[in-house]
A and B are shown apart, each in its own frame.
Chain A
Amino acid sequence: MTGKEYCALYKKSKDRAYDALFECYCDYVYAIVYNKLRSAASREDIEECVSDIFADIFFGYDTASSFAGDMKGYVGTVAKRRAINAFHSLAARSGHFSEEAEEKLFNIGSDDDIEHDSDMAETRSILISKINELGEPDSTIILQKYYYDRSSSEIAEQLSMKASAVRMRAARALDKLKTTLASAGITL
């Protein structure tokens, strides 16, 4: 969605503009937040953070003088910043601050360990490509189950399948993925 499209919609109806922006970027924002908070937050905390981000964007995006191009960069920046703040709040709230987690969080994009970052990026790239090789619906199932921590019944509903089929496919796909990753020297 471009800023121009958003502003045009906003002039007609703010509500529709909010709805359209949300529909366009909710998966993206959720992915960013989940990625940052996965190990530290509950699903409710993650939802809280996602809604904060959209409220920030709805409130703060200047429709009068905004950039006319793609809004994804803006949305992504707000999301990442908010997610990192949320991570801090959650860590403070829980009373124990994991230095390791903190370190991980702030090492992203830093130049401190370029080699490690590069290795990690490559490993992730291989993992994603191997997951994609599983084909649909297995690639979606496996990410939803083992990364997004969704239950089989939730995945089943999303994909119009039976929960038992999801369980079976997930287990088989994970085995297959482990095998193919092992051949690439990666252990899950």
Chain B
Amino acid sequence: MKENREFDMLENADDKTLELLSEVPVLTKEEKERLLAMSKKKLDKMNRESNININNDGYEVSGVERYHRPKWHAVASVAACMLLVCGIGGTVFTLNKNRNAIKTPFSDSDTVSTVGSTSPAEDTKIIAGKLIGSFYDASELMEGLPMSIELDNDDTQTVEGNDGSPVVYTRVASKWSTADELNHYLTDTFSGIVLDDFSAAFFDYTGREPAFREIDGKLYFRKEHDYTEPADEERNVIGKAAIEVENYDGTSFDISLTTDYYDTVVMPDTPCYGHAVLEGGKWKLDSFRTDVASSQLRAEQDPDKFDKEDAMDLLMSFENADRMLAGDIKLRTDRGDIKYLDLSSPSDGKGTAVYYRVIMSGILDMDMMKNEVTSAVTEPALSKSYAFIYDDEAFEAPMFKEFDGKLYCRDYARGNRYNLSGNPEVISNEDGTYTIIALNSIPGGTEKVKFTAVYEDKCWKISDFGYPDDEQPTAADSDAPGIAKEAPNMLNDVMKVMNGTVITDEIDHLDNDTIYKYCGMTNPNNIAYYKVDDPRFSTLDDIKSFISERTVGSYREDLINAITAHSDSDGFPVYIENVENGKLYSRISRFGGLNFTGDVEVMNSTETTMTVRAKVDDPTDSYMLIFLELDDGKWKISTFKYM
């Protein structure tokens, strides 16, 4: 498999040689993270199988015996993938709609036994109803919504979160009193990937605090949202008639149902599919998916009517497409099923695009993905940005791509453009289109943004986006175009310096002892620091001044801290000032700057702030917003983001 045969003699080496070879740093941080995630996933499976074996052998797991609770890790939640288009996770488009929640008449916490359910009669429908009800209850708990449990608000515990910040947990006062009880409930009710996801979210959510913790023998819940029970008339109920059971074979059956509403988004007649299996004498739900894609193929709309409600619905769908573009949709992916795509023109600084297999999503292939996007967005907005989500003919490495007929999602997050809020304003245009003005949250406040809605293929879609005309620069900002033109260069200057310098003396470099002394890091063998020969910089203060003259606010603080902090990907600082010889050393920059095309536009300006849109070829035909602030009489960068 390997082409380089020069070092074949090292193969099957002795221990001493292996030791020496292991000192060569080969794995990148990303590779290590991926390998660790794969290992943990396999561990989860082994733990789960181990538990199943215990049950199959007829052993009762008691409270006395140490219960080997599965260690779960998952990358995204069932609800997040169910809600691909709804956007419950992360930033939610908080339009003032009442929260309509599914609440089934079956959603008690009883586990479903096989008693009386040996025939595919009405009993299986009741079982299916209970399982689906339990599924929605667990989905809500996973999202931090304490809708199906009671909490004792007087008993809280604050723990240190993964990022060091305090996280408050409130004691669970109903249903379960310990983690083992909750885990028993999960393993009695769910199986397969559904169990994986709930267990991961409940007990050990990678990158996020688990929904439950057992502290001093008591069970606590991390409440993320305050929830007010909706009035009964607002609550949408799945009737028994909506649930259908098929393919019953004595040990498993398929479930199908339709829902009218879920959470904040109206999704009429959304088809959902589940599968129940008989395990250990109990019926368990082992898969569930919501076919959001087909639900998003919205019903025919009136070409002569487009009001605020319509605008809100449309913007919600549009914002989800925006989040998909930004890599912000947390689809459930199989991190062990990875595809690599070598890029002929590296678009994100790396020569390879990494894709993870999308699983348990209502969107099964690229056609569905395209329908998803094009049901809310049309030309020219598609070509301007959003076709990057699905168009693998126009783009080498779009956000979603099929490999061997299976859907994969690219691991490429770059920040979303829109985080809309408030009531949009709808203006009718003479050509039959509508203009929607909405508020978009940006660092430090909000900005007005403008969308154009057109009627196409029997429904309303967003055809363009931008800023309202009255937000364009005024005559008072006569030098705004000049400032805007300089903004991309300034940003590139800052980014380049933060990545190290390109002008170095390759002979004068720091030895390992010195690096160790300044960094306190072990194994500095592969880190090279060369003397900075850039005439602009001879000390760390020069670097700090350079950054301070071009940036402002928290962005400046972060950058200045990062200059000497061990913040680079491998923990080593970018610059080291060797006080013994007074020289400044730097890692060689691997960042050549972003490819700005020179196409800039002032999108918004006040006396002290300005937003500049700059076209950038990373990836092709993208846009970036650079936010400037006037500081000490000079325009400086306060932050930036991809559009």
Q: A54 is contacted by which of B16, B39, B525, B528 (Cβ under 8 Å)?
A: B39
Task: With A32-B18, A158-B28 as known contacts, state yes or no: A39 contacts B8, CB within 8 Å.
Answer: yes
- Does B478 reach chain A (CB closer than 8 Å)? no
Q: B40 is contacted by which of A18, A140, A174 (Cβ under 8 Å)?
A: A18
- Which residues of chain A have C-beta atoms less than 8 A from B17's C-beta? 121, 124-125, 128
- Complex contact A156–B590 (CB within 8 A): yes
- Does B38 reach chain A (CB closer than 8 Å)? yes
Per-position binary interface string of chain B over residues 29-51, scored 1 when its CB falls under 8 Å from any chain A CB and 0 otherwise: 00110111011111100110010
Select the stretch in B19-27, B237-245, B387-395 that faces chain A: B19-27
Q: How far is the CA of A32 from the CA of B19 in the complex (A)?
A: 9
Q: How far is the CA of A23 from the CA of B33 in the complex (A)?
A: 10
Q: What is the CB-to-nearest-CB distance from B74 to chain A, in angstroms, rounded to a whole number?
A: 13
Q: How far is the CA of A40 from the CA of B8 in the complex (A)?
A: 12
- Which residues of chain B have C-beta atoms less than 8 A from A108's C-beta? 12, 14
- Which residues of chain A have C-beta atoms less than 8 A from B590's C-beta? 156-157, 160-162
A side interface size, CB within 8 A: 67
Output the nearest chain A residue to B66 by Cβ-Cβ distance.
A64
- Does A15 reach chain B (CB closer than 8 Å)? yes
- Does A133 reach chain B (CB closer than 8 Å)? no
- Does A134 reach chain B (CB closer than 8 Å)? no
- Does A14 reach chain B (CB closer than 8 Å)? yes
- Which residues of chain A have C-beta atoms less than 8 A from B11's C-beta? 35-36, 38-39, 104
- Complex contact A154–B10 (CB within 8 A): no
- Complex contact A159–B4 (CB within 8 A): no
Q: Please report whether the interface of chain A is mostly helix, strand, loop or mixed according to DSSP.
A: helix
- Does A51 reach chain B (CB closer than 8 Å)? yes
Q: B2 is contacted by which of A39, A52, A143, A157 (Cβ under 8 Å)?
A: A39
- Complex contact B10–A35 (CB within 8 A): yes
Task: With A26-B27, A136-B528 as known contacts, state yes or no: A123 contacts B39, CB within 8 Å.
Answer: no
Per-position binary interface string of chain A over residues 113-129, scored 1 when its CB falls under 8 Å from any chain B CB and 0 otherwise: 00000001101110110
- Does B1 reach chain A (CB closer than 8 Å)? yes
- Does A99 reach chain B (CB closer than 8 Å)? no
- Does B351 reach chain A (CB closer than 8 Å)? yes
Q: B338 is contacted by which of A26, A44, A125 (Cβ under 8 Å)?
A: A44
- Does A67 reach chain B (CB closer than 8 Å)? no
- Complex contact A144–B26 (CB within 8 A): yes
- Does B3 reach chain A (CB closer than 8 Å)? yes
- Complex contact A123–B38 (CB within 8 A): no
Task: With A32-B18, A41-B1, A108-B12 as known contacts, state yes or no: A174 contacts B26, CB within 8 Å.
Answer: no
- Does A145 reach chain B (CB closer than 8 Å)? yes
- Does B57 reach chain A (CB closer than 8 Å)? no
- Complex contact B35–A50 (CB within 8 A): yes
Q: How far is the CA of A120 from the CA of B16 in the complex (A)?
A: 13
- Complex contact B525–A147 (CB within 8 A): no
- Complex contact B24–A35 (CB within 8 A): no
Q: What is the CB-to-nearest-CB distance from A76 to chain B, in angstroms, rounded to a whole number?
A: 7
- Which residues of chain B have C-beta atoms less than 8 A from A161's C-beta? 528, 588, 590
Q: What is the CB-to-nearest-CB distance from A74 to chain B, in angstroms, rounded to a whole number?
A: 14
Q: What is the CB-to-nearest-CB distance from B259 to chain A, in angstroms, rounded to a whole number?
A: 36
- Complex contact B4–A124 (CB within 8 A): no
From B24, B527, B528, B589, residue with most partner A Cβ within 10 Å: B24
Q: Which of A83-120 contact B (CB under 8 A)?
A: 104-105, 107-108, 120
Q: How far is the CA of A138 from the CA of B145 in the complex (A)?
A: 56
Q: B43 is contacted by which of A48, A59, A151, A188 (Cβ under 8 Å)?
A: A59
- Does B71 reach chain A (CB closer than 8 Å)? yes
Q: B9 is contacted by which of A40, A42, A124, A151 (Cβ under 8 Å)?
A: A124
Q: What is the CB-to-nearest-CB distance from B620 to chain A, in angstroms, rounded to a whole number?
A: 20
- Complex contact B9–A137 (CB within 8 A): no
Q: B32 is contacted by which of A22, A28, A137 (Cβ under 8 Å)?
A: A22
Output the nearest chain A residue to B37 by Cβ-Cβ distance.
A51
Task: With A149-B2, A154-B28 as known contacts, state yes or no: A31 contacts B38, CB within 8 Å.
Answer: no
- Does B7 reach chain A (CB closer than 8 Å)? yes
- Complex contact B35–A26 (CB within 8 A): yes
- Complex contact A158–B526 (CB within 8 A): yes
Output the nearest chain B residue to A178 by Cβ-Cβ distance.
B6
Q: Which of A1-55 contact B (CB under 8 A)?
A: 14-15, 18-19, 22-23, 26-28, 30-32, 34-36, 38-42, 44, 47-48, 50-55
- Which residues of chain B have C-beta atoms less than 8 A from A26's C-beta? 27, 32, 35-36
- Complex contact A31–B500 (CB within 8 A): no
Output the nearest chain A residue to B28 by Cβ-Cβ distance.
A158
- Complex contact A123–B204 (CB within 8 A): no
- Does B503 reach chain A (CB closer than 8 Å)? no
- Does B350 reach chain A (CB closer than 8 Å)? yes
- Does B13 reach chain A (CB closer than 8 Å)? yes
- Which residues of chain B have C-beta atoms less than 8 A from A150's C-beta? 26
Task: With A30-B22, A146-B6, A160-B500 as known contacts, state yes or no: A35 contacts B13, CB within 8 Å.
Answer: yes
Q: How far is the CA of A27 from the CA of B31 in the complex (A)?
A: 11
- Does A153 reach chain B (CB closer than 8 Å)? yes
- Which residues of chain B have C-beta atoms less than 8 A from A149's C-beta? 2-4
- Complex contact A54–B35 (CB within 8 A): yes
Task: With A124-B14, A124-B17, A137-B526 as known contacts, state yes or no: A58 contacts B43, CB within 8 Å.
Answer: yes
- Which residues of chain A have C-beta atoms less than 8 A from B14's C-beta? 108, 121, 124
- Which residues of chain A have C-beta atoms less than 8 A from B531's C-beta? none
Task: With A36-B12, A162-B588 as known contacts, state yes or no: A31 contacts B28, CB within 8 Å.
Answer: no
- Complex contact A51–B21 (CB within 8 A): no
Task: With A22-B39, A108-B12 as known contacts, state yes or no: A158 contacts B25, CB within 8 Å.
Answer: yes
Q: Which of B249-285 contact A (CB under 8 A)?
A: none
- Does B330 reach chain A (CB closer than 8 Å)? no
Q: A123 is contacted by which of B2, B9, B18 (Cβ under 8 Å)?
A: B9
- Which residues of chain B have C-beta atoms less than 8 A from A19's C-beta? 36
- Complex contact B26–A148 (CB within 8 A): yes
Q: What is the CB-to-nearest-CB distance from B420 to chain A, in angstroms, rounded to a whole number?
A: 36
Task: With A26-B27, A140-B25 as known contacts, state yes or no: A127 contacts B588, CB within 8 Å.
Answer: no
Output the nearest chain A residue to B69 by Cβ-Cβ distance.
A14
- Which residues of chain B have C-beta atoms less than 8 A from A54's C-beta? 35-36, 39, 43
- Complex contact A28–B22 (CB within 8 A): yes
Q: What is the CB-to-nearest-CB distance from B6 to chain A, in angstroms, rounded to a whole number?
A: 5
- Does B15 reach chain A (CB closer than 8 Å)? yes
Q: B35 is contacted by which of A51, A105, A144 (Cβ under 8 Å)?
A: A51
- Which residues of chain A have C-beta atoms less than 8 A from B35's C-beta? 22, 26, 47, 50-51, 54
Q: How far is the CA of A52 from the CA of B56 in the complex (A)?
A: 25
Q: How far is the CA of A19 from the CA of B7 in the complex (A)?
A: 32
- Does B587 reach chain A (CB closer than 8 Å)? yes
Q: How far is the CA of A2 from the CA of B42 in the complex (A)?
A: 24
Output the nearest chain A residue to B162 by Cβ-Cβ distance.
A15
Q: Please name 9 pairs of A and B residues whose Cβ atoms are closer than 8 Å in the assembled complex, sorted by A.
A: A22-B32, A35-B10, A35-B18, A55-B42, A58-B39, A121-B16, A145-B4, A153-B351, A161-B528
10 closest pairs, A vs B, by CB?
Answer: A55-B42, A51-B38, A31-B22, A54-B39, A147-B7, A28-B22, A51-B39, A160-B587, A31-B21, A146-B6
Apart from A51-B336, A105-B12, A160-B527, list 14 A-B contacts with CB within 8 A. Answer: A18-B43, A26-B27, A27-B27, A28-B19, A28-B22, A36-B12, A44-B338, A47-B35, A58-B71, A128-B20, A136-B528, A143-B21, A146-B4, A162-B588
